[in-house]
Copies of this chain bind each other. A is one copy, B any other.
Amino acid sequence: MEGYRLFLALLASALLLGFLSVLFALVWVFQYREGLSWDGAEAEFNWHPVLIITGFVFIQGIAIIVYRLPWTWKCSKLLMKFIHAGLNTIAMILAIVSLVAVFDFHNAKNIPNMYSLHSWIGLTAVILYSLQLVLGFAVFLLPFAPVSLRASLMPIHIYSGLLIFVTVIATAFMGFTEKLLFALKNYKASPPEGIFVNILGLLILIFGALVLWMATRPQWKRPPEQNSKLQQPNGGTEDSAMTDCSKAEKADVEFNSEAAARKRNLKLDETGQRSTM
Protein backbone atom coordinates (compact mmCIF):
# COMPACT_ATOMS: atom_id res chain seq x y z
CA MET A 1 0.00 0.00 0.00
CA GLU A 2 1.35 3.39 -1.06
CA GLY A 3 1.88 5.68 1.93
CA TYR A 4 1.09 2.96 4.48
CA ARG A 5 2.77 4.79 7.36
CA LEU A 6 0.95 8.01 6.57
CA PHE A 7 -2.34 6.11 6.45
CA LEU A 8 -1.61 4.55 9.85
CA ALA A 9 -0.70 7.95 11.32
CA LEU A 10 -3.92 9.53 10.00
CA LEU A 11 -6.00 6.57 11.17
CA ALA A 12 -4.45 6.71 14.65
CA SER A 13 -5.13 10.48 14.74
CA ALA A 14 -8.74 9.98 13.62
CA LEU A 15 -9.31 7.26 16.23
CA LEU A 16 -7.75 9.44 18.93
CA LEU A 17 -9.88 12.43 17.93
CA GLY A 18 -12.99 10.26 17.75
CA PHE A 19 -12.40 8.78 21.22
CA LEU A 20 -11.57 12.24 22.58
CA SER A 21 -14.82 13.61 21.11
CA VAL A 22 -16.88 10.92 22.86
CA LEU A 23 -14.90 11.51 26.07
CA PHE A 24 -15.46 15.29 25.80
CA ALA A 25 -19.19 14.70 25.29
CA LEU A 26 -19.29 12.59 28.47
CA VAL A 27 -17.24 15.10 30.45
CA TRP A 28 -19.54 17.87 29.17
CA VAL A 29 -22.74 16.22 30.40
CA PHE A 30 -21.27 14.86 33.69
CA GLN A 31 -18.95 17.72 34.64
CA TYR A 32 -20.87 20.76 33.40
CA ARG A 33 -24.47 19.49 32.98
CA GLU A 34 -26.88 17.20 34.76
CA GLY A 35 -25.39 13.81 33.80
CA LEU A 36 -27.46 11.06 32.15
CA SER A 37 -30.82 9.56 33.09
CA TRP A 38 -34.19 8.83 31.45
CA ASP A 39 -36.62 10.95 33.44
CA GLY A 40 -37.88 13.66 31.05
CA ALA A 41 -35.51 16.22 32.56
CA GLU A 42 -32.23 17.76 31.34
CA ALA A 43 -30.32 14.55 32.10
CA GLU A 44 -32.48 12.77 29.52
CA PHE A 45 -31.78 15.48 26.93
CA ASN A 46 -28.06 14.90 27.55
CA TRP A 47 -28.27 11.50 25.85
CA HIS A 48 -28.80 13.48 22.64
CA PRO A 49 -25.27 14.94 22.25
CA VAL A 50 -23.60 11.84 23.77
CA LEU A 51 -25.32 9.36 21.42
CA ILE A 52 -25.06 11.58 18.34
CA ILE A 53 -21.32 12.09 18.83
CA THR A 54 -20.75 8.40 19.63
CA GLY A 55 -22.92 6.94 16.89
CA PHE A 56 -23.65 9.49 14.22
CA VAL A 57 -20.20 11.09 14.19
CA PHE A 58 -17.60 8.60 15.47
CA ILE A 59 -19.08 5.22 14.46
CA GLN A 60 -20.37 6.58 11.14
CA GLY A 61 -16.89 7.97 10.42
CA ILE A 62 -15.28 4.58 11.12
CA ALA A 63 -17.93 2.84 8.99
CA ILE A 64 -16.97 5.13 6.09
CA ILE A 65 -13.28 4.20 6.15
CA VAL A 66 -13.57 0.55 7.18
CA TYR A 67 -13.00 -0.71 3.60
CA ARG A 68 -9.72 1.20 3.50
CA LEU A 69 -8.02 -0.53 6.43
CA PRO A 70 -5.32 -2.48 4.56
CA TRP A 71 -5.32 -5.44 6.94
CA THR A 72 -8.97 -6.08 5.97
CA TRP A 73 -8.10 -6.46 2.29
CA LYS A 74 -7.52 -10.17 2.84
CA CYS A 75 -11.08 -10.48 4.18
CA SER A 76 -13.89 -11.09 1.72
CA LYS A 77 -15.73 -8.08 0.38
CA LEU A 78 -18.94 -9.66 1.68
CA LEU A 79 -17.59 -9.75 5.24
CA MET A 80 -16.51 -6.12 4.95
CA LYS A 81 -19.95 -5.16 3.63
CA PHE A 82 -21.49 -6.78 6.73
CA ILE A 83 -19.11 -4.82 8.98
CA HIS A 84 -19.84 -1.56 7.08
CA ALA A 85 -23.61 -2.16 7.25
CA GLY A 86 -23.38 -3.28 10.88
CA LEU A 87 -21.51 -0.19 12.04
CA ASN A 88 -23.97 2.04 10.15
CA THR A 89 -26.89 0.17 11.71
CA ILE A 90 -25.44 0.73 15.21
CA ALA A 91 -24.98 4.43 14.36
CA MET A 92 -28.58 4.59 13.13
CA ILE A 93 -29.96 2.99 16.30
CA LEU A 94 -27.98 5.36 18.51
CA ALA A 95 -29.18 8.33 16.44
CA ILE A 96 -32.82 7.23 16.77
CA VAL A 97 -32.51 6.71 20.55
CA SER A 98 -30.91 10.16 20.80
CA LEU A 99 -33.89 11.65 18.90
CA VAL A 100 -36.33 9.88 21.22
CA ALA A 101 -34.46 11.39 24.18
CA VAL A 102 -34.76 14.93 22.87
CA PHE A 103 -38.43 14.64 21.78
CA ASP A 104 -39.26 13.04 25.14
CA PHE A 105 -37.50 15.85 26.99
CA HIS A 106 -39.24 18.54 24.88
CA ASN A 107 -42.64 16.95 25.39
CA ALA A 108 -42.12 16.61 29.16
CA LYS A 109 -41.14 20.29 29.36
CA ASN A 110 -43.72 21.56 26.83
CA ILE A 111 -40.94 22.81 24.55
CA PRO A 112 -41.94 22.82 20.86
CA ASN A 113 -40.23 20.35 18.53
CA MET A 114 -38.88 20.99 15.04
CA TYR A 115 -38.71 24.79 15.06
CA SER A 116 -34.94 25.22 14.53
CA LEU A 117 -32.65 24.85 11.51
CA HIS A 118 -30.77 22.29 13.65
CA SER A 119 -33.92 20.15 13.90
CA TRP A 120 -34.89 20.58 10.23
CA ILE A 121 -31.47 19.59 8.86
CA GLY A 122 -30.88 16.99 11.58
CA LEU A 123 -34.14 15.17 10.86
CA THR A 124 -33.42 15.38 7.11
CA ALA A 125 -30.03 13.75 7.76
CA VAL A 126 -31.59 10.95 9.82
CA ILE A 127 -34.21 10.26 7.12
CA LEU A 128 -31.60 10.26 4.34
CA TYR A 129 -29.36 8.02 6.46
CA SER A 130 -32.21 5.51 6.90
CA LEU A 131 -32.87 5.54 3.15
CA GLN A 132 -29.16 5.11 2.48
CA LEU A 133 -29.03 2.14 4.87
CA VAL A 134 -32.12 0.41 3.43
CA LEU A 135 -31.10 1.04 -0.20
CA GLY A 136 -27.50 0.02 0.50
CA PHE A 137 -28.70 -3.21 2.12
CA ALA A 138 -31.09 -3.99 -0.73
CA VAL A 139 -28.70 -3.20 -3.55
CA PHE A 140 -25.22 -4.06 -2.28
CA LEU A 141 -25.75 -6.74 0.38
CA LEU A 142 -28.74 -8.74 -0.81
CA PRO A 143 -27.84 -10.84 -3.87
CA PHE A 144 -30.73 -9.73 -6.10
CA ALA A 145 -29.60 -6.44 -7.66
CA PRO A 146 -28.12 -6.71 -11.16
CA VAL A 147 -24.47 -5.77 -11.53
CA SER A 148 -25.32 -2.81 -13.75
CA LEU A 149 -27.58 -1.34 -11.05
CA ARG A 150 -24.85 -1.77 -8.43
CA ALA A 151 -22.28 -0.13 -10.67
CA SER A 152 -24.54 2.84 -11.44
CA LEU A 153 -25.66 3.32 -7.82
CA MET A 154 -22.24 2.98 -6.18
CA PRO A 155 -21.05 6.56 -6.96
CA ILE A 156 -24.36 7.89 -5.60
CA HIS A 157 -24.05 5.68 -2.48
CA ILE A 158 -20.54 6.99 -1.79
CA TYR A 159 -21.48 10.63 -2.47
CA SER A 160 -24.61 10.40 -0.29
CA GLY A 161 -22.67 8.75 2.51
CA LEU A 162 -20.06 11.50 2.62
CA LEU A 163 -22.70 14.23 2.21
CA ILE A 164 -24.77 12.85 5.11
CA PHE A 165 -21.61 12.59 7.23
CA VAL A 166 -20.67 16.27 6.75
CA THR A 167 -24.32 17.29 7.19
CA VAL A 168 -24.43 15.44 10.52
CA ILE A 169 -21.29 17.29 11.68
CA ALA A 170 -22.76 20.64 10.59
CA THR A 171 -25.94 19.77 12.50
CA ALA A 172 -23.92 18.86 15.60
CA PHE A 173 -22.26 22.30 15.42
CA MET A 174 -25.70 23.95 15.34
CA GLY A 175 -26.71 21.78 18.29
CA PHE A 176 -23.67 22.90 20.33
CA THR A 177 -24.49 26.52 19.48
CA GLU A 178 -28.13 26.13 20.56
CA LYS A 179 -27.33 24.28 23.79
CA LEU A 180 -24.63 26.75 24.87
CA LEU A 181 -26.87 29.75 24.15
CA PHE A 182 -29.78 28.18 26.04
CA ALA A 183 -27.78 26.87 28.98
CA LEU A 184 -25.09 29.52 29.50
CA LYS A 185 -26.20 33.02 30.35
CA ASN A 186 -22.54 34.09 30.15
CA TYR A 187 -21.51 32.29 26.93
CA LYS A 188 -20.23 35.62 25.55
CA ALA A 189 -17.78 35.88 28.46
CA SER A 190 -16.10 32.60 27.33
CA PRO A 191 -16.80 30.52 30.46
CA PRO A 192 -14.97 27.17 30.84
CA GLU A 193 -17.98 25.19 29.53
CA GLY A 194 -18.17 27.39 26.43
CA ILE A 195 -14.45 26.95 25.69
CA PHE A 196 -14.70 23.21 26.40
CA VAL A 197 -17.56 22.64 23.95
CA ASN A 198 -15.88 24.85 21.33
CA ILE A 199 -12.83 22.58 21.60
CA LEU A 200 -15.14 19.56 21.22
CA GLY A 201 -16.39 21.18 18.00
CA LEU A 202 -12.81 21.56 16.72
CA LEU A 203 -12.03 17.92 17.59
CA ILE A 204 -15.04 16.80 15.54
CA LEU A 205 -14.09 19.13 12.67
CA ILE A 206 -10.59 17.63 12.44
CA PHE A 207 -11.97 14.08 12.86
CA GLY A 208 -14.34 14.72 9.95
CA ALA A 209 -11.57 16.22 7.82
CA LEU A 210 -9.34 13.15 8.42
CA VAL A 211 -12.15 10.72 7.55
CA LEU A 212 -12.90 12.63 4.34
CA TRP A 213 -9.22 12.64 3.35
CA MET A 214 -8.78 8.91 4.01
CA ALA A 215 -12.06 8.04 2.28
CA THR A 216 -11.23 9.90 -0.94
CA ARG A 217 -7.57 9.01 -1.65
CA PRO A 218 -7.54 6.76 -4.72
CA GLN A 219 -4.27 5.10 -3.63
CA TRP A 220 -5.88 3.87 -0.40
CA LYS A 221 -8.83 2.19 -2.01
CA ARG A 222 -9.37 -1.52 -1.34
CA PRO A 223 -7.91 -3.41 -4.33
CA PRO A 224 -10.25 -5.33 -6.66
CA GLU A 225 -11.45 -8.61 -5.14
CA GLN A 226 -9.61 -11.01 -7.45
CA ASN A 227 -6.23 -9.80 -6.16
CA SER A 228 -7.13 -9.17 -2.58
CA LYS A 229 -5.60 -12.34 -1.16
CA LEU A 230 -2.27 -11.63 -2.82
CA GLN A 231 -2.08 -8.04 -1.58
CA GLN A 232 -0.61 -7.41 1.82
CA PRO A 233 -0.20 -3.94 3.32
CA ASN A 234 3.28 -4.82 4.58
CA GLY A 235 4.33 -6.52 1.36
CA GLY A 236 4.05 -10.01 2.92
CA THR A 237 3.38 -13.19 0.98
CA GLU A 238 0.10 -14.93 0.31
CA ASP A 239 0.87 -17.50 3.02
CA SER A 240 1.13 -14.86 5.68
CA ALA A 241 -2.35 -13.67 4.67
CA MET A 242 -3.90 -16.90 5.92
CA THR A 243 -5.24 -15.46 9.12
CA ASP A 244 -8.54 -15.70 10.90
CA CYS A 245 -10.02 -13.29 8.39
CA SER A 246 -9.27 -15.67 5.52
CA LYS A 247 -10.87 -18.47 7.47
CA ALA A 248 -13.86 -16.27 8.08
CA GLU A 249 -14.04 -15.67 4.36
CA LYS A 250 -14.06 -19.41 3.67
CA ALA A 251 -16.91 -19.78 6.15
CA ASP A 252 -18.72 -16.98 4.29
CA VAL A 253 -18.40 -18.79 1.01
CA GLU A 254 -19.64 -22.05 2.43
CA PHE A 255 -22.44 -20.34 4.30
CA ASN A 256 -23.74 -18.15 1.54
CA SER A 257 -24.70 -19.89 -1.65
CA GLU A 258 -24.93 -16.53 -3.43
CA ALA A 259 -21.31 -15.66 -2.77
CA ALA A 260 -19.91 -17.25 -5.92
CA ALA A 261 -22.31 -15.39 -8.17
CA ARG A 262 -21.59 -12.19 -6.29
CA LYS A 263 -17.84 -12.72 -6.74
CA ARG A 264 -18.32 -12.90 -10.50
CA ASN A 265 -20.09 -9.58 -10.28
CA LEU A 266 -17.45 -7.87 -8.20
CA LYS A 267 -15.23 -6.71 -11.00
CA LEU A 268 -17.93 -4.50 -12.48
CA ASP A 269 -19.05 -3.57 -8.97
CA GLU A 270 -15.54 -2.36 -8.22
CA THR A 271 -15.47 -0.40 -11.43
CA GLY A 272 -18.54 1.48 -10.33
CA GLN A 273 -17.01 2.22 -6.97
CA ARG A 274 -13.68 3.24 -8.49
CA SER A 275 -15.34 5.94 -10.50
CA THR A 276 -15.62 8.25 -7.53
CA MET A 277 -13.26 7.10 -4.80
Contact with B along A207-238 (1 / 0, CB 8 A): 00100110011110000000000000000000
What number of copies of this chain does the assembly contain? 2
Which residues of A in the span 157-204 have a Cβ within 8 Å of any Cβ on B?
159, 163, 166-167, 169-171, 173-174, 176-178, 180-182, 187-190, 194, 197-198, 201-202
**Interface residue count for A (Cβ, 8 Å)?**
44
Chain B neighbourhood of A166, CB < 8 A: 166, 170
Chain B residues whose CB sits within 8 angstroms of the CB of A202 once the complex forms: 120-121, 124
Contact A201 B121 (CB under 8 A): yes
List residues 101-136 of chain A with CB under 8 A from any CB of chain B. Answer: 111-112, 115-118, 120-121, 124
Is residue A275 contacting chain B, with contact meaning CB distance below 8 A? yes
- A119-157 CB mask vs B (1 if < 8 Å, else 0) is 011001000000000000000000000000000000100
Tell which of B116, B173, B190, B217 touches A170, judged by Cβ atoms closer than 8 Å. B173
A188 to B111, Cβ gap below 8 A? Answer: yes
Q: A197 to chain B: which residues have CB within 8 Å? A: 117
**A37: interface (CB < 8 Å):** no
CB-CB under 8 A from A159, the residues of chain B are: 212-213, 216
Interface residues of A (CB under 8 A from B): 111-112, 115-118, 120-121, 124, 155, 159, 163, 166-167, 169-171, 173-174, 176-178, 180-182, 187-190, 194, 197-198, 201-202, 205, 209, 212-213, 216-219, 275-276
The contact sample of 22 A-B pairs, CB cut-off 8 A, is A111-B188, A112-B189, A115-B190, A116-B187, A116-B198, A117-B177, A117-B180, A117-B201, A120-B198, A121-B173, A121-B202, A163-B212, A166-B166, A170-B170, A173-B173, A173-B174, A177-B181, A178-B181, A181-B181, A181-B182, A218-B276, A219-B275
The 6 lowest CB-CB distance pairs between A and B, nearest first, are A170-B170, A117-B201, A115-B190, A117-B198, A177-B177, A174-B177
